[in-house]
Amino acid sequence: MPYVLDTAGIPPEDRIEAVYAAMMHASAPCHVLHEDPDGDVHCRLEVWDLGDANIFLTRSSGIRLLRTDKLAKQEAMPVVAVSVQERAHGHLEQRRHLQVVPPGNLLAVDLSGAYDYAWSGHGAAGCIQIPVDQLGLPIDVIRRAIPRLRASPLYRMVTAHITNLVRDRARITADPAVATVATASIELARALLASADRAEQVTSQVLAETLLTRVRAYVRRHLADPDLTPGRIAAAHNVSLRHLYKVCADADLSLEQWVITQRLHRVWHELADQDNRHLPIAVIARRWGFRDPTHFARRFKARYGISPGQWRRVQGEAPPS
């Protein structure tokens, strides 16, 4: 179960104290300053377990989180937060580097050090908080990389990944495969930081180690494209097709079969969705890259032991969950 604070059910005079207590539980100890403490202070804060990391979401009125040098010396918290700004511009100052982060953009914070992070008006941000020892990178590499995230070719990939994690946090953390998602998320953050640091030896090693994770993330983002081929996947990751197949074979993974399985899984869920009852099965299949309805139906039945039409009828007769 997640940890949730929602000030909507708290008397206005108690909200500032409640937000402070929740923030101390959820993240690094810091001063919590409100833009208008005498006005409409409101906050919804959620923390969801994600394996060795967690998903942390905050939506609130104008707020400032100030971790001073004194607080940083009192309690070291070896955690890195990799965050996507959702609403309002985020302002982060750490180690004399100031960043202004518009909505939809990525930032990272070393929670073990001093920092000053704020937004004005109604804002929101969602992040994953990862213990430094899970990243497997020297702390100096992490600290050099934090202000350079945009230099990484993985910037947009990781931004999209964290956005999806935060948006689907309840479903993802309840899924039996959450441990795999957690590992992939940490690996992507590791690759992002290593490539942003641009230390060639570390970067090449980490990129090689995380190639399969990055390939899987890329495939999931492009499943709907019928022209998604192994050659295109290899080119997107600057590796040869032969090397891509070798990496997959070492992991006992058939790339083409895995892509088909992922597509079938998406169709399976969409056919069960009552909001899609008006759509022909072939249209839904085409959405996920299946151009040939006959080939799709054959693969679906081989995978699930039931035809697409039968599966849709069964779901239509089932009582709503």
**Lookup: tokens for 132:** 């430094």
Looking at per-residue pLDDT, the higher value among 109 and 77 belongs to: 109
| Three-class DSSP category at 201 | helix
183-209 pLDDT, tens digit per residue, is 899 999 999 998 887 755 556 666 666
- Of the ranges 103-107, 194-198, 279-283, 298-302, the best mean pLDDT one: 103-107
Whether pLDDT at 317 is above 70: no
Domains and CATH numbers, the chain: 3-209 (2.60.120.10), 258-317 (1.10.10)
For tokens 């990781």, the residue is 158
- The structure's pTM equals 0.67
How far, in Å, CA of 212 to CA of 247, rounded? 7
- For residue 204, the model assigns a pLDDT of 64
Nearest by Cα to 159 from 109, 105, 213, 207: 105
Stretch among 43-47, 217-221, 235-239, 258-262 having the lowest mean pLDDT: 217-221
- Of the ranges 75-79, 220-224, 243-247, the best mean pLDDT one: 243-247
- For residue 320, the model assigns a pLDDT of 45
Whether pLDDT at 8 is above 80: yes
Confidence band (pLDDT; 50, 70, 90) for 75? low
> Once rounded to an integer, what is the mean pLDDT over residues 67-71?
89
- For residue 272, the model assigns a pLDDT of 83
DSSP 103-170: TT-EEEEETTS-EEEEE-SSEEEEEEEEEHHHHTS-HHHHHHHGGGGGGSTTHHHHHHHHHHHHHTHH
Count of CB atoms situated within 10 Å of the CB of 160: 16
> Once rounded to an integer, what is the mean pLDDT over residues 76-99?
91
Return the H-helix or E-strand segment holding 177.
none
Percent of the chain clearing pLDDT 70 (strictly above): 93
How far, in Å, CA of 126 to CA of 129, rounded? 10
Whether pLDDT at 222 is above 90: no
Whether pLDDT at 174 is above 70: yes
- For residue 59, the model assigns a pLDDT of 97
Count of CB atoms situated within 10 Å of the CB of 14: 10
> Once rounded to an integer, what is the mean pLDDT over residues 143-162?
92
b/e string for 104-128 if b means 16 or more Cβ within 10 A?
Answer: ebbbbbbbbbbbbbbbeeebbbbbb
Whether pLDDT at 319 is above 60: no
- For residue 321, the model assigns a pLDDT of 39
Confidence band (pLDDT; 50, 70, 90) for 216? confident
- For residue 67, the model assigns a pLDDT of 93
How far, in Å, CA of 90 to CA of 119, rounded? 5
